[in-house]
């Protein structure tokens, strides 16, 4: 699971992996400039789509998808065990990932936080 926060002083979206997810994803924290975030959605269905090629991390179908994956020319960071809590964050071309697909405690609150930060910066 990831903890999503906004650092308003530095204009960053922060996704911090919690517990053993740091190990499974091979990453403990991602910092993305808000200017590079296009939007966020709650999308439980994405967990059932093909993941692509795992470049680093863990993939046990139906159990956990975590780490860096390449699919159809896109880089996607995953950290999902429970698809019902999945949030997808679309990123601009300047980032190393095209999107983040992460599990959060409260998907609606995470989407509202991200969208609110984007609206404030617009």
* CA distances (Å), origin 17, targets 12, 50, 72, 78, 87: 16, 22, 25, 11, 14
* CA distances (Å), origin 99, targets 9, 58: 23, 17
Return the CATH number of the domain spanning residue range 2-121. 2.30.29
pLDDT tens digit at each of 122 positions of the chain: 999 999 999 999 999 999 999 999 999 999 999 999 999 999 999 999 999 999 999 999 999 999 999 999 999 999 999 999 999 999 998 889 999 999 999 999 999 999 999 998 66
pTM, rounded to two decimals: 0.95
Question: Domain segments of the chain: what residues?
Answer: 2-121
**Partners of 83 in the beta sheet?**
none
């Amino acid at each position: 699971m990831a903890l999503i926060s906004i650092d308003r002083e530095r204009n960053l979206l922060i996704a911090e992996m919690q517990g053993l997810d740091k190990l499974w994803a091979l990453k403990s924290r991602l910092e993305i400039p808000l200017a590079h975030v296009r939007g966020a959605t709650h999308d439980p269905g994405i967990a059932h789509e093909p993941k692509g090629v795992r470049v680093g991390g863990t993939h046990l179908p139906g159990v956990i998808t975590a780490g860096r994956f390449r699919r159809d020319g896109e880089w996607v960071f995953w950290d999902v065990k429970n698809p019902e809590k999945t949030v997808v964050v679309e990123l601009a071309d300047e980032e190393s990932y095209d999107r983040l697909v992460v599990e959060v405690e409260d998907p609606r609150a995470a989407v509202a936080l991200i969208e609110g930060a984007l609206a404030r910066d617009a």
